Structure 1
């Protein structure tokens, strides 16, 4: 009786481990899509709403994914305080404090960092082009990741099950 329960627990643990690793891989892709959506919202506010950058960041904070709201709210709050800080300094600090612990794929952080270097002091057209370029870069990363994520998810699930069964065979 205890042997059967132990076998089930070991196999279940292996499967759970595999599915959790696969979920983390899937989360990378979802974060990239959410980042792309956030940048589209920012671009739309600047292009069609004629909204200044500090206000545009505050507006999209309410429309974007919950994991990016603290990042955008911190930027909006700091920009509205009218301290003598550059946009890049505010962007970089918020990126380090809010997004770095949450973003799984480091390439997304690099893209956002380079976008923040140029977007704060440009005119409206150049801001739009900078955001367009960042969106294109994120789309490229997502495109490269898609096949790899699908393969990795299958592999992690299979390995989790295989590892659980291997441990059971070794122990029995």
Structure 2
């Protein structure tokens, strides 16, 4: 009876780890899309809005969901709390705090940090160009993430179950 319970727990652990890895692959394209949406909203706020950047970022965070909203809200909070800090420093700090809670990888982080380093430092048209470049780069990363999801998500889930079964066979 104990062997059966142990075997069931091992298979369950393998299954859950496969599901978690598959979920990670599924969340990445969604989170990239959220960032692109946030950047598009930021472009609209910069070009057509006349609000200060902390208010614009807070407004964007209310319109988004997930990790994208968290990035914009954390940056807005930091800008409001520390008005003497440059925008790039607040953005970088917010990225460092939010990134571990996401399924995003290094290339997306680099794109987001590059955009943050130029925010608030030039005229509106230059800001628009940088935001559009970031959106184009994120679009490329999203396509790559979707391809990886289609290719590997089901495999990861299956391998989780199969690795649990294999471990049970090897142990018993």
The SS at the match of 2:100 is coil
Distance in 2 between the 1:15 and 1:38 partners?
34
Query: 1:69: Cα distance to partner?
Result: 3.8
The SS at the match of 1:85 is coil
Query: 1:102: Cα distance to partner?
Result: 2.0
The SS at the match of 1:162 is helix
Query: 1:44: Cα distance to partner?
Result: 2.1
Distance in 1 between the 2:37 and 2:99 partners?
18
Contact 1:46–1:124 (Cα < 8 Å) also in 2: yes
Distance in 1 between the 2:111 and 2:68 partners?
15
Cα pair distance change 1:80/1:16, threshold 3 Å: closer
The SS at the match of 1:55 is helix
Query: 1:89: Cα distance to partner?
Result: 1.9
Query: 1:70: Cα distance to partner?
Result: 4.3
Task: Map 1:94-113 to 2 at 5 A.
Answer: 94-96=94-96, 98-103=97-102, 104-113=104-113
Contact 2:25–2:145 (Cα < 8 Å) also in 1: no
The SS at the match of 1:134 is helix
Distance in 1 between the 2:125 and 2:140 partners?
23
Return 5+ residue gaps in structure 1 as ranges: none
Q: Deviations over 1:120-145 (max 9, x none)?
A: 11111211121111111111111112
Q: Deviations over 1:103-162 (max 9, x none)?
A: 331211111110111221111121112111111111111111211122221221121121
Question: Which deviates the most, 159-168 or 81-90?
Answer: 81-90
Distance in 2 between the 1:14 and 1:129 partners?
46
Count of residue pairs the alignment pairs up? 171
Query: 1:80: Cα distance to partner?
Result: 4.0
TM superposition score normalised by structure 2: 0.85
Query: What is the root-mean-square deviation in Å for CA atoms of aligned residues?
Result: 2.2
Map of 2:9 onto structure 1: 9
Map of 1:168 onto structure 2: 168
Distance in 2 between the 1:28 and 1:116 partners?
20
Map of 2:137 onto structure 1: 137
